[in-house]
Structure 1
């Protein structure tokens, strides 16, 4: 073996020795999202929130020291199986396939980060999103697209604050448009210290269900309501002070 070949092999061994367990790349991944992808803090937080369960699952499987090159198609399949069997106690049902996809999108982006950093691992294309016969014609928004949509309204104006509050309510609660425009102010009891909120609504088929308002949704509802001067009971009103029509 030539001296040059030996030198190349030595460099390769040194590079491999510097590779860390996958869980230790989280902060590097978030930095990459900020610097290389230019994503906002909120989008980074979303990726972190949907990626951390993968690391937690590895701990449960006693694979907390798993190396990037040890991520295999079988491991991804097992994780998908884990997600499909998760029971959401709050709603008394399994995770929807659309929700499972957010966890898989975050994992796929993490693998893309490893690939761009030339860290040996599974190709991100090996992480397939779930398909549902009922949902196969639906194009899901990515986390970045949702964030851009939320930032569209001009929140320096009242109508922009209203639109931002509507969007945050929509994504936080999963309510239908018709249900949102039918909300009244007296249904949303927000105090100075309120950060999150749950209310009961009567939806399709006259069925009652509980919906959850996130901290961000509450923030924008507060920003919007404190500038309202009309006496209309509807939560969301037009620029003429009348109830918004769905």
Structure 2
């Protein structure tokens, strides 16, 4: 502040605005560079991970009667949920909020809900009977490094009564505290090993399927 006043006094407002302009440009360049480097790191990490699932993997998992519960906003979680369901001959149940998030404000709305713990109301209607299933998958997107608020709403209203519950997440690059928070909020659940799925290009579809199968095989009863 004192530096800016000094510039105004000795060089005038024009010089001050010029300095501010250059500082803003430098900040934009630094932020853009950091963002580009982060995206490069994520791309390389995804490439390395998917290389581990190049070979076709046979499915030999015995999971019993399976249910896949999911919340999806962009559609990525739904894609993973449907793949799990197809491979395990499972039924699916989609968690839906009464009020849909609007595209421009979704992340600010969800941040407010997460901070206040005032989670969204869910649509009423048919809800599957947990006792009818041997293995229950529950998935959703990572928002603000944790579960989307709708998942918190669902877990608050659900007693798993000792059922085998398998969490999974979808995200850009970092699942944060998703699984830690899931385990802390899944009431009376026998939580099994989780899996996470980054948003990937279609060129990796086969590897993603192999990754899911590898995971399912490890969950076999």
Same-fold call, TM > 0.5? no
More helix by share: 1
TM-score by length of structure 2 reads 0.30
